[in-house]
Amino acid sequence: MYFTNISLGQYVPTGSFIHRLDPRAKLFSLLFIISAVFPAENFIKLSFWTALLFLLVWVSKISWRIILMTARPIFFLIIFTFVFNLFADSLLRALLTSLRLLVLMLFAVILPLTTAPLELADGLDSLLRPLGKIGFPAHESAMMIGMALRFIPLLMQETDKIIRAQLSRGARLDQGNIFKRVRAFFPVLIPLFIIIFRRADEIALAMEARGYEGGSGRTRRRPLIWKVKDTIVVTVCALVSILLILL
Amino acid sequence: MIEACSLSFSYNHHSISNNEDFTGRALKDVSFFVNEGERIAILGHNGSGKSTLVKILGGLQEASEGKCLINGIDINEMDFRELRTTIGMVFQDPENQIVAAMVEDDAAFAPENQGLPSDEIQARVDEALKQVNLLHKQGASVSALSGGEKQRLALAGALTARVKCLILDEATAMLDPVGRVHVENVMKELHKSGMTIIQVTHQIEAENFDDIQRVIVLSHGEIIWQGVTRDFWEKSEALGFDLPDEFKIKQLFAARDINFPESFRDCRINFREESDTYDPAKSAKFAIQDLSFKYEDSTTQTLDKVNANIPAGRWLSIIGRTGSGKSTLVQHLNALYKIQDGRILFDDKALPQKGEEVHELRRKVGLVFQHPEDQLFSFTVRDELAFAPKNAGFTKHELDEAVLYGLECVSLDESFLDRNPIALSGGERRLIAIASVLAAKPECIVLDEPLAGLDAHYQHQILNMLKKLRDNGRTVITITHDLSMALNYSDRILIMGDGKAIQEGSPHEVIASIMHNLEPGAWPDVLRFSAKIHEINKDFPLLYNYEDFISCISQI
């Protein structure tokens, strides 16, 4: 792949305990964990979170290979953080900051890997619904995120194919200064936009043909049901997070 | 059940009306009816207006004039939910119809929109997946499905709404032969169980037409013929549609009172195959040796020690099932994929892998991807054609000449130069995309499924163009699922399977291997017939060419 990995952020169905949790429970837990990992200021706390991450990955039955590959685009950011802190501060600080960022990102990556796009959209939909009362397009936003997650891998494949085609025609996509490079990408961007608009058009038609007319009156094959295990997971995550922030 | 009364549609009120692609979507006074439980075909070339008709019949677009009645009710006044539970649609590109990432979630979309209770939704999903033979994939993710399976899922997505009528818009056009056969089998079953089916297509295929009762032919937005399928056959050539070989052969058997295959049991046929004494190892453009390749996120070898010679100055077709490694192999030839293991010799020298030499290689080896018209980006045809030669460092003078050369290769005249590629018809865009690669005067040109989705006129034009390039000494490589084209047009054939090169040889040499490695659904019609005869009479040759077959038949 010239562009990036196509399996990025794609749902991996393993049917694990994590997969079967309510998407809202996963969203809440992730929120708690992130707000606790952010202020983690020493290695003891970070090693605890790292241990929890390993536990989570083990329970989710998703291979580390997939997780690391999905997270690959952010490694650049982590290396940058490390180098920046190394010069601005100390080695210790650099290690701490970059490790913290890494753990944070890896937690975040697990969500889309264990939650099907439409399920995630359903979860967001139900969480955002109160905002609908003040005119926020809750269902539409959630549906958009769900559809984006479904089509991102496809558009990446498409981008990859266009890049290959233009390289075959002798395009020099990786030479010259920044302006030259941006200009050199027009032959990739223009066809990509045309394809995106055409797809969007066709998808809209296909959705209408299947009777989609927005969120009202829609039911679900598997309605979101908040179970006891969801409450337990969220409570545990909340307690652990608060405890570690306060310690 | 459906009645179209003088449907018209025009884009006249749009400023884009002088755009050929849009005028190609107009309709003029189209009237017909479809009875309940009937299966009909609407036949038309690209730009005949059939896509517009599909949208109007499906209630996705309003006609400018005329009415479309569903069970006597005007489609535009029908209750949305009732309309969507009466008419289901399946479009050409399966990817654009699937909204969920999981098979079951997607099949559930329609009944979810209807607001049905969960257990009813699940029951319908199970039933529909069973109808399209996908029940074993219910827990799978969509990305793990083949093209044919995705299209069957799209069918299931319509069936879960319990529709009475299915409209299919070129639903099998993007599928490989195996996927096509599977979808077709599902359609037959559905029709048997009472479903009304309207199939819109640009190509007649024998297996599709067995089951179809009536045909409507659309041309330039008007119905030029309609009637029962039996009468259609006599008219089809006059209407501009090639008959499938299978049909012609069956007709011939009937006319000459031949009992197939029994009548051939003891016949002796004089047929001399031309022998190809050509040795590809002596004049290879590319010599591929033990080439292996594995994608980063894959666990299996996509190419597994491929050994093959690609003959210089000949036309080679690479055939094999989807996923056999054909595309990956050819993308090595211009260094889009770097060699992981093994080696490739290009004109007896190691194939360059980096630096300026790769650019030079890409000028010499032109690669045309599948649906290359999707990669056009310029505002004029002239700029599009100049892109590759410019990148290759042609001078101003050479550039003008190269643009004209590209245009000449695809037999388009200079009036195209200042037009916008987006405003051209699909077939013309394909030609421009091919010309944009040829303009840099490559020694070798590789095309991935060059004929896919085109109608007969453009298909013949591209085949003639490739023949001419080959006659002028170019090395031509095509990847195709169309075995009839591969066997009848190319000089040599390379069969791939499971990442390996199975055999390279002349069409005659590889025929046995094709029969062994590819399913009969993918064979040319002629080969299916001659293979049946060959089974009971070993003297009868295995043929793939229609004329040869006819000359053999006429001997008994």
pLDDT of residue B240: 83
CB A50 within 8 A of CB A37: no
Q: Which of A101-105, A211-215, B475-479 has the lowest mean pLDDT?
A: A211-215
Say if A129 falls within a structural domain: no
- Residues A16 and A102 occupy one common structural domain: yes
Between CA B265 and CA B439 the distance in angstroms is 54
Tokens 């002596």 belong to which residue? B282
Between CA A219 and CA B497 the distance in angstroms is 45
Residue B76 in tokens: 């535009």
pLDDT of residue B280: 67
Contact B374 A191 (CB under 8 A): yes
Q: In what order do the strands lie in the sheet with B303-311?
A: B303-311, B284-293, B341-346, B349-350
Model confidence pLDDT, tens digit, residues B495-552:
999 999 999 999 988 999 999 999 888 899 899 999 999 888 888 888 898 988 888 8
Give me the architecture of the B2-240 domain, per CATH.
Answer: 3-Layer(aba) Sandwich (3.40)
Interface membership of A222 toward B (CB under 8 Å) = yes
Interface membership of B114 toward A (CB under 8 Å) = yes
Phi-psi region of B347 (alpha: psi -120 to 50; beta: other; left: phi over 0): left
Q: Which A-chain residues 14-73 have CB contacts (< 8 A) with chain B?
A: 15, 69
The correct answer on CATH 2.40.340.10 for the domain covering B284-505 is: no
Find which of B105, B163, B424 to mutate to test the A interface (most A CBs within 10 Å of its CB): B105
Q: Which of A24-28, A215-219, B153-157 has the lowest mean pLDDT?
A: A215-219
Q: Which B-chain residues 46-65 have CB contacts (< 8 A) with chain A?
A: 55, 58, 60
Which of B115, B366, B390 lies at the smallest CB-CB distance from A218? B115
Q: What is the mean pLDDT of residues B7-28?
A: 62
User: Which helix (DSSP H) or strand (DSSP E) does residue A50 occupy?
Assistant: helix A43-60
User: In chain B, which residues have their Cβ closer than 8 Å to the Cβ of A116?
Assistant: 100-102, 105
DSSP state of B141: B
- A14 burial type by CB count under 10 A (0-12 exposed, 13-18 middle, 19+ buried): middle
Interface membership of B377 toward A (CB under 8 Å) = yes
Model confidence pLDDT, tens digit, residues B151-198:
999 999 999 999 999 999 988 888 888 888 899 999 999 999 999 999
Say if A234 falls within a structural domain: yes
User: In chain A, which residues have their Cβ closer than 8 Å to the Cβ of B115?
Assistant: 217-219
Contact A212 B113 (CB under 8 A): yes
Bond into B261 cis (ω within 30): yes
- Residues A167 and A185 occupy one common structural domain: yes
User: In chain B, which residues have their Cβ closer than 8 Å to the Cβ of A220?
Assistant: 108, 112, 118, 121
Interface membership of B296 toward A (CB under 8 Å) = yes
Of residues A5 and B299, which shows the higher confidence score?
B299
Interface membership of A150 toward B (CB under 8 Å) = yes
What residues form DSSP beta bridges with B293?
B303
Which of A167, A172, A207 lies at the smallest CB-CB distance from B99? A207
- Residues A153 and A212 occupy one common structural domain: yes
Interface membership of B113 toward A (CB under 8 Å) = yes
CB pairs A-B closer than 8 Å: 171
Which of B110, B154, B436 lies at the smallest CB-CB distance from A211? B110
Contact A207 B93 (CB under 8 A): no
Question: Is B500 in a helix, a strand, or coil?
Answer: strand
Q: Average model confidence (pLDDT) for chain B?
A: 89
- Residues A22 and A110 occupy one common structural domain: yes
Q: Which A-chain residues 102-131 have CB contacts (< 8 A) with chain B?
A: 116-119
Say if A193 falls within a structural domain: yes
Q: Supply φ then ψ for residue B42, to 5 degrees.
A: -105, 115
B337 Cβ contact list (under 8 Å, min separation 6) = B293, B328, B331
Of residues B113 and B23, which shows the higher confidence score?
B113
Say if A130 falls within a structural domain: no
Max mean pLDDT range (B225-229, B236-240, B260-264, B452-456): B225-229
Domains in chain A, number: 2
- Residues A55 and A85 occupy one common structural domain: yes
pLDDT of residue A106: 92
The Cα of B230 is separated from the nearest Cα of chain A by a number of Å equal to 32
pLDDT of residue B20: 46
Between CA B467 and CA B448 the distance in angstroms is 16
B130 Cβ contact list (under 8 Å, min separation 6) = none
Contact A118 B88 (CB under 8 A): no
Q: Which A-chain residues 63-82 have CB contacts (< 8 A) with chain B?
A: 69
CB B308 within 8 A of CB B290: no
The Cα of A29 is separated from the nearest Cα of chain B by a number of Å equal to 23
The ipTM value here is 0.88
Between CA B483 and CA B319 the distance in angstroms is 8
Residue A168 in tokens: 């075959």
Interface membership of B356 toward A (CB under 8 Å) = no
Assess whether pLDDT exceeds 80 at residue B17: no
Same fold, B2-240 and B284-505: yes
User: Which helix (DSSP H) or strand (DSSP E) does residue B3 occupy?
Assistant: strand B2-9
Q: Where are the domains of chain B?
A: 2-240, 244-276+527-556, 284-505
pLDDT of residue B346: 93
pLDDT of residue A4: 45
User: In chain B, which residues have their Cβ closer than 8 Å to the Cβ of A180?
Assistant: none
Interface membership of A135 toward B (CB under 8 Å) = no
Report how far apart, in Å, the C-alpha atoms of B316 and of each of B292, B346, B368, B445, B477 are: 21, 16, 15, 10, 5
Between CA A155 and CA B241 the distance in angstroms is 36
Q: What is the mean pLDDT of residues B15-39?
A: 73
- Residues A12 and A111 occupy one common structural domain: yes
- Residues A101 and A23 occupy one common structural domain: yes
- Residues A211 and A242 occupy one common structural domain: no
Q: Which amino acid is at B41?
A: A
Write out the residue range of the structural domain in which residue A170 sits.
138-216
Q: Which B-chain residues 178-217 have CB contacts (< 8 A) with chain A?
A: none
Kindly state the percentage of chain B with pLDDT values over 70: 96
- Residues A50 and A83 occupy one common structural domain: yes
pLDDT of residue A156: 86
Residue in A closest to B385 by C-alpha: A169
The Cα of A72 is separated from the nearest Cα of chain B by a number of Å equal to 12
User: In chain B, which residues have their Cβ closer than 8 Å to the Cβ of A164?
Assistant: 331, 336, 367, 369
Interface membership of B85 toward A (CB under 8 Å) = yes
Give, rounded to a whole angstrom, the gap between the first and last alpha carbons of chain B. 49
Q: What is the mean pLDDT of residues A17-32?
A: 94
The Cα of A229 is separated from the nearest Cα of chain B by a number of Å equal to 22
- Residues A198 and A108 occupy one common structural domain: no
Say if A131 falls within a structural domain: no
Reported confidence tier of residue B281, pLDDT bands at 50, 70, 90: low
pLDDT of residue A211: 92
Contact B161 A208 (CB under 8 A): no
pLDDT of residue A176: 67
- Residues A184 and A238 occupy one common structural domain: no
Which of B81, B102, B362 lies at the smallest CB-CB distance from A13? B102
CB A115 within 8 A of CB A123: yes
Say if A2 falls within a structural domain: no
Between CA A61 and CA A17 the distance in angstroms is 9
Kindly state the percentage of chain B with pLDDT values over 90: 62
Which of A11, A166, A195 lies at the smallest CB-CB distance from B141? A11
Q: What is the mean pLDDT of residues B56-63?
A: 91
Say if A132 falls within a structural domain: no
Which of B105, B387, B422 lies at the smallest CB-CB distance from A169? B387
Assess whether pLDDT exceeds 70 at residue A1: no
Report how far apart, in Å, the C-alpha atoms of B48 and of each of B54, B59, B222, B235 are: 12, 19, 8, 18
Model confidence pLDDT, tens digit, residues B219-252:
988 999 999 988 888 888 888 888 888 888 888 8
pLDDT of residue B275: 67
Contact B85 A211 (CB under 8 A): yes
Contact B392 A170 (CB under 8 A): yes
pLDDT of residue B16: 45
Contact B110 A210 (CB under 8 A): yes
Contact A221 B111 (CB under 8 A): yes
Q: What's the distance, CA B365 to chain centroid? A: 24
Between CA A159 and CA A191 the distance in angstroms is 9
